[in-house]
Amino acid sequence: MYLEDTHGDNFRSTYRHFVLSFHTKAQITAEATEAAGAQGKFWEMHDLIYERQQQWNGLPDEEMHDLLVGYAEELGLDTERFAQELEDRVYKDKVDADTQSAIEAGLGGTPSYIVNGIVYPTQQLGLAPARIDTFIQLVMDPPDQYSDVPPQVIDPGKEYAATMRTSKGDIVVELLPGYAPVNVNSFAFLAQDGWYDGQTFFYVDPEFVAQSGDPTNNGFSLPFAGYTCGDEVSPDLTFDEAGMLALYTPQPNGNNGQFFITYAPLPDLNGKFTIIGRITEGMEIAKSLNPTQPGASQSPPDVIETILIEEQ
């Protein structure tokens, strides 16, 4: 495989099942791969099932058992043992445990990759081996990072504004430390330390959000600052209006430096991301940011010159 060949002894892959409810045959096929794996042919069964999706996709559920036993026979397995283990649901608990761990990790679907505990942003970056390889290299050798969580730089009982000075103009945000004291403090610390200076709005969808806070400008959802903060989701703050400033993380309690600004009411995001502020001035500047996304042949992204934090 490409990744094993590229990273050699530094790379070890571990497969976990993630049974999705709308795939009605996902459970039995997952258990079949485990039954084959017990006889040393996990991947052979996995690949055979995958290659023959057209053969079994429309098959009635009650016929799947015999079909999978037929696959086991093709692979030279002990079919009596395989059939009995499939009938007895020997591997159900293992498959269920894998699925539960995927749900708890906040994975959105399959395939998903977790590298050293960090979720690869499949939806944003796709599955090209070169992109996954770059992600792995960044996880293994990240940019300079802070060694600990930031010191306290704001008073949660006071009011603050953040002025994003961009290549298009200023965007002023009312920060909300009363709702998200830990994450607002983290954002203020990074801004005051110049961490955002020179970064870009690497992803801008005029119907959705503008996103920044990745020093590589690739959209990798890594904790580049070197630490993470827990979620601070308040039922009193929602994405029911445009101009909300929130932190982006692909998994629970992984807030770091990445943030996004909403361009429209996005109620589907409610309860999923920590809101740390709302735009009070410069929404027209935010809307003028160049539509772009990571990748070749895209419009050049607009730059954050600096972010100023001021007590009100």
**Domain of residue 200, CATH code:** 2.40.100.10
Same domain for 164 and 279, yes or no, is: yes
Query: Is the pLDDT assigned to residue 32 strictly greater than 90?
Result: yes
Same domain for 307 and 197, yes or no, is: yes
112 assigned to some structural domain: no
Query: Is the pLDDT assigned to residue 147 strictly greater than 90?
Result: no
Same domain for 198 and 297, yes or no, is: yes
Give the mean model confidence (pLDDT) for residues 78-83: 98
pLDDT at 106: 81
Would you say 288 and 187 are in contact if contact means Cβ atoms under 8 Å apart? no
The pLDDT > 70 percentage for the chain reads: 97
Boundary-marking domain end, from 87, 104, 121: 104
Give the pLDDT band (50/70/90) at residue 65.
very high
Nearest to 216 by CA among 290, 289, 140, 134: 134
Same domain for 301 and 235, yes or no, is: yes
Same domain for 192 and 287, yes or no, is: yes
Taking 3-state DSSP, the helix, strand and coil percentages for the chain, each rounded to the nearest 5, stand at 35, 15, 50
125 assigned to some structural domain: no
121 assigned to some structural domain: no
pLDDT at 5: 75
Boundary-marking domain end, from 69, 104, 139: 104
The three-state secondary structure class of 24 is coil
Give the mean model confidence (pLDDT) for residues 72-95: 98
51 assigned to some structural domain: yes
Which parts of 116-241 are beta strand (E)?
118-119, 160-166, 169-175, 203-204, 209-212
227 assigned to some structural domain: yes
pLDDT at 2: 65
pLDDT at 116: 82
126 assigned to some structural domain: no
Q: What predicted TM-score, i.e. pTM, was given to this entire model? A: 0.62
Least confident range from 15-29, 77-91, 213-227, 254-268: namely 213-227
Same domain for 176 and 293, yes or no, is: yes
pLDDT at 43: 95
Give the mean model confidence (pLDDT) for residues 219-241: 89
111 assigned to some structural domain: no
Least confident range from 35-49, 181-195, 289-303: namely 289-303
Would you say 65 and 28 are in contact if contact means Cβ atoms under 8 Å apart? yes
Token pair recorded at residue 140: 């293994």
Count of domains observed in the chain = 2
Q: In which element (H, E) is residue 308 found? A: strand 304-311
* Domain assignment of residue 237, given as a range: 160-311
pLDDT at 152: 96
Same domain for 262 and 174, yes or no, is: yes
205 assigned to some structural domain: yes
Boundary-marking domain end, from 104, 121, 145: 104
pLDDT in tens, 106-115: 887 888 888 8
Distance (Å) of CA 305 to CA 33, 163, 166, 238, 243: 52, 11, 5, 28, 20
Q: If you compute the radius of gyration of the chain from its CA atoms, what whole number of angstroms results?
A: 24
Same domain for 13 and 100, yes or no, is: yes
Query: Is the pLDDT assigned to residue 30 strictly greater than 70?
Result: yes
Same domain for 196 and 296, yes or no, is: yes
The three-state secondary structure class of 172 is strand
pLDDT at 1: 62
